[in-house]
Chains A and B, each alone.
Chain A
Amino acid sequence: MARDYYEVLGVPRSADEKEIRSAFRKMARQYHPDLNPGDESAERKFKEINEANEVLSDPDKRVKYNRHGDNWMHADRIEAQGGGFRQGTRVEYGFGDVG
């Protein structure tokens, strides 16, 4: 289970797009691998904030994430089926994301 994206970026759930982006850049300035050569934990951290930013700074993805959490990516299908995933269904669609 990955950490909550809002927590990763240190922003409240009510944060607007500008706050999210600015929080990301501030953290990027701290953790970008170029600024921390050879530091694997910084690189790991950067990838984490990068991923959180990719989802939260995109209004569509953010809505899905807010509603479905880790399963946000399958939101369309979930909604089409009128319900959530049963345990383990994710892979039956043939793909899933390792969380």
Chain B
Amino acid sequence: MAVPFPELDGDALESNRRPESPEDHGFNEEGIPILPDIPTGAHHEASSGGLFFSPDDTESRQLPPSPPPLPENTGSSLDPPEYDLSSEEDVGPVVGIDLGTTFSCVAVWEGGRPCVIANNMGNRTTPSWASFHSDNVFVGEAARAKASRNPQCAVYDAKRVIGRKWSDTSVQESLRLWPFSLAEHRGNCAFQIGSQLYTPEEVSAYVLAKMKHAAEDYLGRKIKKAVVTVPAYFNDAQRQATLDAATIADLEVARIINEPTAAALAYGLEKTEGDDSLQTLLVYDLGGGTLDVTILVLDGGVFEVKSTSGDTNLGGQDFDNKLVEHFLPEVKAQCGVDITDNKAKAMKKLRDACQVLKHNLSHSETATIEVDALINGKDFDSSLSREKFVEITHSLLERCLKPVKQALQDARMSADEIDEAVLIGGSTRIVRVQQLLEEMFPGKKLSKKINPDEAVAMGAAIQGANLSRAYETKDPRLVGITLMDVTPLSLGIELASGKMSTIIPRNTTIPYSHTRVYKNNEDYQTKAIVEVFEGEEKYTKNNRLLGKFTLPGLPPKRRGQVQIPISFTVDANGVLEVVACVSGEEGTTKRLVIQKDKGLLTEDDIQRKAKILAKWERKCRAEKLN
């Protein structure tokens, strides 16, 4: 043992050597890399950005008074839930839920295969929409139907704002085109309907609850657990917010898994049957709001993710936006009105028509757009060629291959080492996107074998079955299925120089544990502030603060004479735990679990909203709504 680290337990000590190149750190020119001793609060922007670790920081954790609960007439004479709770041990099946930007899908492992569950309308995917009215909340198809009459009451795209700051450029850019109002909510985003605010977590919770209902109706029993998917490139705040949404919907999340990894699981399970050969897949997932690219190796039941990359703000909706923008001047010319000017109904009609046009362009070279009575009783007609579509969406198409190149580079692979490119997500139906991938992987087949809308939920169901022990004895098809994912973003701490010192680089297979030793920056400093960041930028001010804590008890010694080992452990759920202590000083160990504390909602908020949801669920069951 080179350095004493008495406070750490044996586990951390065993396995904490971590490969990484010294160049990453910029230590050479810096001399001694160190921990800053900075007066609390007087630090850079990021630390005032509202992450909530310090125990005395409770004030900033409070959300403003949350929107009033659902109207009280949500029923006092409600029937009890239809389904019996089985015995304590029997937690039931773990369903897989793909919580999508535009559509969601739920699946369960049944009869030796993942099975997609249709909702009460008979549809295998459900629009990720919620519509808030004085007497009820509608979700899915019902919400979208309500939107035609009351567009300002219906919201979607919660996934595009969940876990994001109001100031986020992508949020600001989308504002103009959303028919609903988004408001700032203590630096975060919230949907505004009338005078009420709804957080994206809450909206997602309604969608999750609807998916849960579908599964409960199908299986005839209560569902408590789910594997929920997120884009691979989601950061920690977005993942945490998704977990909070699940809690509000009374779902215990067995595991958050990355969407492309889930899709690969669904694809690979079909593929590996009787085929043990090693295969390298690239999963290209272009959905409604996000692009994810993941490279993984399949080897006899082991799914090893090599690298993952993405663009959390590129998806079908962006293509719709471009089309809407393209047609707006024509609308003005034909109808004589600027419909961006508070004409939510007309905007929705135009957007829907643009979507249909986009879909049609996946089958034909030219498509028409026809909207009856778009505004003031005037119709709108136009058409678009595929060529023109490519021109309009040029800036988006240019971004489509960037993550592919990054993922290849990170996996240290060339395009010809990819055996197959698997396309999922509805937007991979765009012809030009397919062409770009064909050009990138010449001679390789683009696999469209699995249903692009359902693969993610199916993969989540496979992992759900894999993780559930109480429900079924292990299905023979699942034996040996092992999923090894990676950290999407680098994790590290801030040095006194303001530079990021990476402790776990991106694309490291998890679970993983690693320790580095730091030293005091100033003579006789008595405490050190440990600030934990995620991101790839050299300076932490450009990365995202995950949390911070102060390590007291440094013995008064000259600069560089105190050793501070800091260990990072990421578990299979991607949860990061940071442990720091002062070498040789008893009782100085500080631990920080980057989870739970740092969602944007407080525990109180979550509990209160969970109650509202539970009430709503009972009402839906009793009145057969939604």
Q: Which residues of A contact B (CB under 8 A)?
A: 1-2, 21-22, 25, 28-29, 32-35, 37, 40, 43-44, 46-48, 50-51, 53-55, 58, 60-61, 70, 72-74, 76-77, 90-99
Contact of A51 among B18, B299, B412, B560 (CB under 8 A): B18
Is the C-beta of B294 less than 8 angstroms from some C-beta in chain A? no
Q: Are B519 and A91 in contact (CB under 8 A)?
A: yes
Beyond A34-B467, A73-B22, A95-B27, whether A2 also contacts B17 by CB under 8 A is yes
Instruction: List 28 contacting pairs A-B, 8 Å CB cutoff, sorted by A.
Output: A2-B15, A21-B297, A21-B299, A25-B302, A29-B300, A32-B572, A33-B511, A40-B11, A47-B513, A48-B15, A50-B511, A51-B512, A55-B19, A60-B21, A70-B2, A91-B3, A91-B519, A92-B32, A94-B27, A94-B33, A94-B560, A95-B33, A95-B517, A95-B518, A97-B18, A97-B515, A98-B2, A98-B515
Closest chain-A Cβ to B258's Cβ sits at a distance in Å of 15
Contact of A97 among B14, B16, B511, B519 (CB under 8 A): B16
Q: Is the interface of B mostly helix, strand, loop or mixed?
A: mixed
Which A residues touch B28, using CB under 8 A? 77
Complex Cα–Cα for A8 and B407 (A): 28
Q: Are B11 and A44 in contact (CB under 8 A)?
A: yes
Q: Are B467 and A76 in contact (CB under 8 A)?
A: no
Closest chain-B Cβ to A44's Cβ sits at a distance in Å of 5
Q: Is the interface of A mostly helix, strand, loop or mixed?
A: helix
Closest chain-B Cβ to A63's Cβ sits at a distance in Å of 12
Q: Are A94 and B32 in contact (CB under 8 A)?
A: yes
Closest chain-A Cβ to B16's Cβ sits at a distance in Å of 5
Complex Cα–Cα for A13 and B535 (A): 35
Which B residues touch A54, using CB under 8 A? 18-19, 508-509
Is the C-beta of B5 less than 8 angstroms from some C-beta in chain A? yes
Closest chain-A Cβ to B472's Cβ sits at a distance in Å of 15
Q: Which residues between 340 and 377 of chain B lie within 8 Å of chain A, taking CB atoms? A: none
Which A residues touch B31, using CB under 8 A? 94
Complex Cα–Cα for A97 and B18 (A): 7
Is the C-beta of B483 less than 8 angstroms from some C-beta in chain A? yes
Q: Are B482 and A28 in contact (CB under 8 A)?
A: yes
Which A residues touch B560, using CB under 8 A? 92, 94
Closest chain-A Cβ to B499's Cβ sits at a distance in Å of 12
Q: Which residues of B contact A (CB under 8 A)?
A: 1-3, 5, 10-11, 13-23, 25, 27-28, 31-34, 278, 297, 299-302, 304, 412, 466-467, 469, 480, 482-484, 501, 508-509, 511-519, 560, 563, 565, 567, 571-572
Q: Are A58 and B2 in contact (CB under 8 A)?
A: no
Beyond A28-B484, A94-B32, whether A70 also contacts B17 by CB under 8 A is yes
Which B residues touch A73, using CB under 8 A? 19-22
Residue of B10, B509, B565 contacting most chain A CB atoms (<10 Å): B509
Contact of A91 among B297, B480, B563 (CB under 8 A): B563
Complex Cα–Cα for A94 and B33 (A): 5
Closest chain-A Cβ to B206's Cβ sits at a distance in Å of 30
Which A residues touch B23, using CB under 8 A? 76
Residue of B nearest to A61 (CB): B19
Q: Are B518 and A94 in contact (CB under 8 A)?
A: yes
Residue of B nearest to A55 (CB): B19
Complex Cα–Cα for A82 and B545 (A): 39
Closest chain-B Cβ to A38's Cβ sits at a distance in Å of 10
Closest chain-B Cβ to A42's Cβ sits at a distance in Å of 11
Which B residues touch A33, using CB under 8 A? 511, 571-572
Contact of B516 among A22, A61, A76, A96 (CB under 8 A): A96
Which B residues touch A94, using CB under 8 A? 27, 31-34, 518-519, 560
Beyond A2-B17, A25-B299, whether A98 also contacts B11 by CB under 8 A is no
Closest chain-A Cβ to B467's Cβ sits at a distance in Å of 7
Which B residues touch A47, using CB under 8 A? 11, 14-15, 511-513
Contact of B482 among A2, A29, A95, A96 (CB under 8 A): A29
Beyond A28-B482, A28-B484, A34-B466, whether A97 also contacts B514 by CB under 8 A is yes
Residue of A46, A54, A90, A95 contacting most chain B CB atoms (<10 Å): A95
Complex Cα–Cα for A82 and B571 (A): 39
Closest chain-B Cβ to A41's Cβ sits at a distance in Å of 9
Which A residues touch B571, using CB under 8 A? 33
Which B residues touch A93, using CB under 8 A? 27, 32-33
Residue of A nearest to B33 (CB): A94
